[in-house]
Amino acid sequence: MTSSGPVLRITYLYPDLMNLYADRGNITCLERRCAWRGITPLVQRLEWNDRLDESADMYVIGGGQDRQQQLASQGLTMRNADRILSDLGDGAVMLAVCGGYQLMAHRYRAGDGSELAGLGVFDAETVHPGPDVPRCIGNIVCDWDGARLVGFENHGGRTYLGSGASPLASVVRGYGNNAEDGTEGAVAGNAIGTYLHGSVLPKNPHLADHIIGAALARIAPGHELEPLDDRAEWAAHRAALRVVGLR
């Protein structure tokens, strides 16, 4: 069966290295929400040794442990920086979660003191204070654009935004970027970085559609996103709010 709707090229960065707490559910969610609306998602998986030879309309990367992040950092900065940065400069969309978010900022100082280079999409840097300092672990809720986002976080790194970065959201419950300033995540153009695992998109369908909408505005201007029956998604969202005593 062929569809005459728009085709959305999604590049999934390092699925084998960067996938914690069901982050791959973000890709499934994006694929399904597109397909249900006659948008054809073309997902390309970038493995560690690969060099990107095609542009994408959307990049997705999940979280990872320090060791896996080291490999991902090399792959990103040594083989794929030009393509990704040039696509983002052209308005491509990105969702980067936790360890992936850290690698999209300037640098990540890992728990053992080693420094991992990032792509500098976000004006931010992350420092892991080492194994003796408690990690930021638990359910997280934040305010985003007049709505709520729910998720789960587990990170040692503390991310500090520079003056060129805007936070994605503000923390209502949990830790967010650094457990100090109440900010969560970052936004730069059409790129979003966040600490929310969960996976985040299935139980935050408004965020999923925000991301798809931003991609569509570029590749198929004027294409309206049809509403979907999101009762199950919102039930999951509300259940996550109830777990932390919110509704």
What does the binding site for ligand GLN look like in residue numbers (CB under 6 A)? Answer: 20, 63-66, 69, 98-99, 128, 154-157
Q: Which two tokens stand for residue 109?
A: 């100082």
DSSP SS3 for 116: strand
CB of 110: closest distance to ligand GLN in angstroms? Answer: 7
Peptide bond into 166 cis (omega under 30): no
The residue number with the shortest CB distance to ligand GLN is 63
Q: Which is nearer to ligand GLN, 21 or 144 (CB)?
A: 21
Residue 108 near residue 69, CB atoms below 8 Å: yes
Residue 188 near residue 158, CB atoms below 8 Å: no
CB of 120: closest distance to ligand GLN in angstroms? Answer: 18
Task: For residue 118, give Cα distances in angstroms to 20, 39, 60, 221.
Answer: 19, 32, 15, 32
Q: Which is nearer to ligand GLN, 158 or 237 (CB)?
A: 158
Q: Which is nearer to ligand GLN, 18 or 207 (CB)?
A: 18
CB of 119: closest distance to ligand GLN in angstroms? Answer: 16
Residue 195 near residue 96, CB atoms below 8 Å: no
Cα 123 to chain centroid, rounded: 16
In the set 106, 128, 197, 210, the catalytic residue is 197
In the set 98, 142, 155, 237, the catalytic residue is 98
Q: Which two tokens stand for residue 93?
A: 């969309």
34 is an active site residue:
no
Q: Which is nearer to ligand GLN, 196 or 211 (CB)?
A: 196
CB of 198: closest distance to ligand GLN in angstroms? Answer: 12
29 is an active site residue:
no
How many Å apart are CA 29 and CA 27, to the nearest integer? 5
> Side-chain half-sphere of 36: how many Cα atoms within 13 Å?
14
CB of 68: closest distance to ligand GLN in angstroms? Answer: 8
How many Å apart are CA 10 and CA 214, to the nearest integer? 13
What region does 130 belong to: left with phi over 0, alpha with psi -120 to 50, or beta? left
Q: Which is nearer to ligand GLN, 134 or 213 (CB)?
A: 134
Burial class (CB in 10 A: 0-12, 13-18, 19+), 4: exposed
List the catalytic residues: 98, 197
